[in-house]
A and B are shown apart, each in its own frame.
Chain A
Amino acid sequence: DTAVSQTPKYLVTQMGNDKSIKCEQNLGHDTMYWYKQDSKKFLKIMFSYNNKELIINETVPNRFSPKSPDKAHLNLHINSLELGDSAVYFCASSLVFATNEKLFFGSGTQLSVL
Protein backbone atom coordinates (compact mmCIF):
# COMPACT_ATOMS: atom_id res chain seq x y z
CA ASP A 1 0.00 0.00 0.00
CA THR A 2 1.22 3.49 -0.86
CA ALA A 3 1.91 5.45 2.31
CA VAL A 4 1.52 8.98 0.89
CA SER A 5 -0.44 9.17 -2.34
CA GLN A 6 -1.10 12.16 -4.57
CA THR A 7 -3.43 12.58 -7.50
CA PRO A 8 -3.08 13.37 -10.28
CA LYS A 9 0.49 12.47 -11.15
CA TYR A 10 0.46 14.82 -14.14
CA LEU A 11 -1.64 17.94 -14.62
CA VAL A 12 -1.57 20.04 -17.78
CA THR A 13 -3.78 23.09 -17.88
CA GLN A 14 -4.23 26.56 -19.33
CA MET A 15 -3.35 29.83 -17.63
CA GLY A 16 -6.19 31.24 -15.59
CA ASN A 17 -7.75 27.88 -14.74
CA ASP A 18 -8.42 26.60 -11.23
CA LYS A 19 -7.13 23.15 -10.30
CA SER A 20 -6.77 20.90 -7.27
CA ILE A 21 -4.22 18.31 -6.21
CA LYS A 22 -5.23 15.72 -3.66
CA CYS A 23 -3.07 14.04 -1.05
CA GLU A 24 -3.82 11.21 1.33
CA GLN A 25 -1.64 9.40 3.84
CA ASN A 26 -2.45 6.08 5.46
CA LEU A 27 0.35 6.19 8.03
CA GLY A 28 -1.73 7.64 10.83
CA HIS A 29 0.45 10.75 10.88
CA ASP A 30 -0.70 14.00 12.44
CA THR A 31 1.27 16.39 10.24
CA MET A 32 1.13 16.94 6.49
CA TYR A 33 3.02 19.27 4.18
CA TRP A 34 3.08 20.65 0.67
CA TYR A 35 6.42 21.28 -1.01
CA LYS A 36 7.16 22.82 -4.40
CA GLN A 37 10.13 21.70 -6.53
CA ASP A 38 11.02 24.18 -9.23
CA SER A 39 12.78 23.63 -12.55
CA LYS A 40 16.15 23.84 -10.82
CA LYS A 41 15.11 20.97 -8.55
CA PHE A 42 15.00 23.24 -5.50
CA LEU A 43 12.48 22.03 -2.91
CA LYS A 44 10.71 24.62 -0.80
CA ILE A 45 8.00 24.22 1.79
CA MET A 46 4.66 25.85 1.07
CA PHE A 47 2.33 24.74 3.87
CA SER A 48 2.18 22.51 6.90
CA TYR A 49 -0.89 21.28 8.73
CA ASN A 50 -0.91 19.60 12.10
CA ASN A 51 -4.08 17.76 12.96
CA LYS A 52 -6.05 19.78 10.41
CA GLU A 53 -4.69 23.11 11.58
CA LEU A 54 -2.42 25.35 9.52
CA ILE A 55 0.97 25.82 11.21
CA ILE A 56 3.22 26.94 8.36
CA ASN A 57 2.30 29.25 5.50
CA GLU A 58 5.52 30.11 3.77
CA THR A 59 4.65 33.35 1.94
CA VAL A 60 2.71 31.55 -0.73
CA PRO A 61 0.33 33.63 -2.89
CA ASN A 62 -3.22 33.43 -1.66
CA ARG A 63 -4.18 31.84 -4.98
CA PHE A 64 -2.96 28.68 -3.27
CA SER A 65 -5.40 27.40 -0.67
CA PRO A 66 -4.75 24.17 1.22
CA LYS A 67 -7.66 22.30 2.73
CA SER A 68 -7.48 19.55 5.31
CA PRO A 69 -10.84 17.83 5.79
CA ASP A 70 -9.23 15.40 8.22
CA LYS A 71 -5.72 14.66 9.34
CA ALA A 72 -5.23 11.99 6.67
CA HIS A 73 -5.89 14.41 3.80
CA LEU A 74 -4.34 17.66 2.68
CA ASN A 75 -5.54 18.97 -0.66
CA LEU A 76 -4.09 21.92 -2.55
CA HIS A 77 -6.36 24.16 -4.58
CA ILE A 78 -4.83 26.69 -6.95
CA ASN A 79 -6.84 29.55 -8.44
CA SER A 80 -6.02 31.54 -11.57
CA LEU A 81 -3.02 29.44 -12.54
CA GLU A 82 0.04 31.28 -13.85
CA LEU A 83 2.97 30.10 -15.97
CA GLY A 84 5.26 30.38 -12.95
CA ASP A 85 3.18 27.82 -11.08
CA SER A 86 4.61 25.09 -13.31
CA ALA A 87 6.58 22.80 -11.02
CA VAL A 88 6.42 19.46 -9.26
CA TYR A 89 4.35 19.59 -6.08
CA PHE A 90 5.10 17.09 -3.34
CA CYS A 91 2.92 16.14 -0.44
CA ALA A 92 4.60 14.78 2.69
CA SER A 93 3.69 13.68 6.18
CA SER A 94 5.32 13.08 9.53
CA LEU A 95 4.11 11.32 12.64
CA VAL A 96 3.90 14.49 14.67
CA PHE A 97 5.03 18.06 14.25
CA ALA A 98 8.36 17.61 15.94
CA THR A 99 11.86 18.52 14.98
CA ASN A 100 13.18 14.97 15.05
CA GLU A 101 10.56 13.41 12.84
CA LYS A 102 11.30 11.90 9.44
CA LEU A 103 9.24 13.07 6.51
CA PHE A 104 7.56 10.65 4.14
CA PHE A 105 6.94 11.99 0.64
CA GLY A 106 4.42 11.26 -2.06
CA SER A 107 5.57 10.68 -5.63
CA GLY A 108 4.75 14.21 -6.76
CA THR A 109 2.36 15.95 -9.13
CA GLN A 110 3.93 17.53 -12.18
CA LEU A 111 1.94 20.65 -13.00
CA SER A 112 2.41 22.26 -16.40
CA VAL A 113 0.65 25.57 -17.04
CA LEU A 114 0.44 26.51 -20.72
Chain B
Amino acid sequence: KQEVTQIPAALSVPEGENLVLNCSFTDSAIYNLQWFRQDPGKGLTSLLLIQSSQREQTSGRLNASLDKSSGRSTLYIAASQPGDSATYLCAVRRNEKLTFGTGTRLTIIP
Protein backbone atom coordinates (compact mmCIF):
# COMPACT_ATOMS: atom_id res chain seq x y z
CA LYS B 1 0.00 0.00 0.00
CA GLN B 2 1.39 3.37 -1.05
CA GLU B 3 2.05 5.85 1.75
CA VAL B 4 2.99 9.45 1.08
CA THR B 5 4.55 11.56 3.80
CA GLN B 6 5.28 15.27 3.86
CA ILE B 7 7.55 16.75 6.47
CA PRO B 8 7.32 19.26 8.05
CA ALA B 9 3.59 19.61 8.51
CA ALA B 10 4.02 23.38 8.83
CA LEU B 11 6.75 25.81 7.87
CA SER B 12 7.18 29.57 8.39
CA VAL B 13 9.76 31.44 6.35
CA PRO B 14 10.61 35.17 6.01
CA GLU B 15 9.73 36.73 2.69
CA GLY B 16 12.46 36.55 0.08
CA GLU B 17 14.04 33.34 1.29
CA ASN B 18 14.36 30.19 -0.77
CA LEU B 19 12.77 27.07 0.68
CA VAL B 20 12.35 23.36 0.07
CA LEU B 21 9.33 21.19 0.76
CA ASN B 22 9.77 17.44 1.05
CA CYS B 23 7.67 14.50 -0.04
CA SER B 24 8.48 10.82 0.41
CA PHE B 25 6.64 7.74 -0.80
CA THR B 26 6.99 4.07 0.02
CA ASP B 27 6.31 2.39 -3.34
CA SER B 28 8.68 3.58 -6.06
CA ALA B 29 6.66 1.97 -8.87
CA ILE B 30 4.87 5.19 -9.75
CA TYR B 31 3.81 6.74 -13.05
CA ASN B 32 4.18 10.33 -11.98
CA LEU B 33 4.21 12.73 -9.08
CA GLN B 34 2.24 15.92 -8.89
CA TRP B 35 2.57 18.95 -6.62
CA PHE B 36 -0.56 20.95 -5.74
CA ARG B 37 -1.27 24.02 -3.68
CA GLN B 38 -4.43 24.39 -1.66
CA ASP B 39 -5.61 27.79 -0.44
CA PRO B 40 -8.00 27.95 2.55
CA GLY B 41 -11.56 27.22 1.52
CA LYS B 42 -10.53 26.51 -2.04
CA GLY B 43 -9.73 23.56 -4.23
CA LEU B 44 -6.37 22.28 -5.31
CA THR B 45 -4.33 23.91 -8.02
CA SER B 46 -1.87 21.75 -9.91
CA LEU B 47 1.62 23.27 -9.88
CA LEU B 48 3.92 20.73 -11.47
CA LEU B 49 3.70 17.17 -12.75
CA ILE B 50 6.84 15.04 -13.06
CA GLN B 51 6.67 11.84 -15.09
CA SER B 52 8.46 8.81 -13.65
CA SER B 53 11.11 9.07 -16.36
CA GLN B 54 11.90 12.70 -15.50
CA ARG B 55 14.18 14.10 -12.81
CA GLU B 56 12.74 17.58 -12.49
CA GLN B 57 10.24 20.12 -13.73
CA THR B 58 10.35 23.90 -13.51
CA SER B 59 7.68 26.56 -13.63
CA GLY B 60 8.67 30.11 -12.81
CA ARG B 61 10.04 30.24 -9.25
CA LEU B 62 9.10 26.60 -8.65
CA ASN B 63 11.30 23.60 -9.27
CA ALA B 64 10.26 20.06 -8.45
CA SER B 65 12.65 17.14 -8.41
CA LEU B 66 11.99 13.43 -8.36
CA ASP B 67 14.24 10.61 -7.17
CA LYS B 68 12.09 7.58 -7.79
CA SER B 69 14.56 5.01 -6.52
CA SER B 70 14.77 6.64 -3.11
CA GLY B 71 11.07 7.52 -3.03
CA ARG B 72 11.59 11.25 -2.66
CA SER B 73 10.54 14.50 -4.26
CA THR B 74 11.27 18.09 -3.36
CA LEU B 75 9.55 21.32 -4.26
CA TYR B 76 11.92 24.26 -4.31
CA ILE B 77 10.45 27.76 -4.11
CA ALA B 78 12.79 30.60 -4.91
CA ALA B 79 12.48 34.14 -3.54
CA SER B 80 9.36 33.38 -1.54
CA GLN B 81 6.46 35.85 -1.47
CA PRO B 82 3.51 36.28 0.90
CA GLY B 83 1.25 35.02 -1.92
CA ASP B 84 3.03 31.67 -1.71
CA SER B 85 1.38 31.03 1.66
CA ALA B 86 -0.81 27.95 1.24
CA THR B 87 -0.83 24.23 1.91
CA TYR B 88 1.31 22.26 -0.54
CA LEU B 89 0.37 18.69 -1.31
CA CYS B 90 2.24 16.07 -3.27
CA ALA B 91 0.46 13.14 -4.88
CA VAL B 92 1.84 10.03 -6.54
CA ARG B 93 0.08 8.08 -9.23
CA ARG B 94 0.25 4.34 -9.73
CA ASN B 95 -2.21 2.77 -12.14
CA GLU B 96 -5.49 4.59 -11.75
CA LYS B 97 -4.86 5.68 -8.16
CA LEU B 98 -3.56 9.04 -7.03
CA THR B 99 -2.34 8.94 -3.43
CA PHE B 100 -1.96 12.24 -1.61
CA GLY B 101 0.31 13.27 1.23
CA THR B 102 -1.10 15.23 4.16
CA GLY B 103 0.53 18.44 3.05
CA THR B 104 2.86 21.13 4.36
CA ARG B 105 1.25 24.36 5.48
CA LEU B 106 3.57 27.15 4.36
CA THR B 107 3.46 30.66 5.80
CA ILE B 108 5.60 33.40 4.30
CA ILE B 109 6.22 36.17 6.80
CA PRO B 110 6.30 39.68 5.26
Interface string of B75-94 (1 = CB under 8 A from A): 00000000000010101010
A42 to B4, CA, bound (A): 10
Which single member of A90, A97, A103 contacts B46 (CB below 8 Å)?
A103
B61 interface hit (Cβ, 8 Å): no
Which B18-43 residues have C-beta < 8 A from chain A? 31-32, 34, 36, 41-43
**Residue pair B32, A103 in contact (C-beta under 8 Å):** no
Which single member of A48, A58, A102, A108 contacts B49 (CB below 8 Å)?
A102
- Chain B residues with CB under 8 A of A105: 36, 43-45
- Chain A residues with CB under 8 A of B41: 107-108
A4 to B44, CA, bound (A): 11
Which single member of B32, B44, B95 contacts A100 (CB below 8 Å)?
B32
**Residue pair B96, A100 in contact (C-beta under 8 Å):** no
Number of A residues near B (Cβ < 8 Å) is: 23
Give B contacts to A, CB under 8 Å.
31-32, 34, 36, 41-46, 49, 51, 87, 89, 91, 93, 95-98, 100, 102-103
Q: What are 13 A-to-B residue pairs whose CB atoms are below 8 Å? A: A41-B87, A43-B44, A43-B100, A45-B98, A56-B97, A90-B43, A99-B96, A100-B49, A100-B51, A102-B46, A103-B34, A105-B44, A108-B43
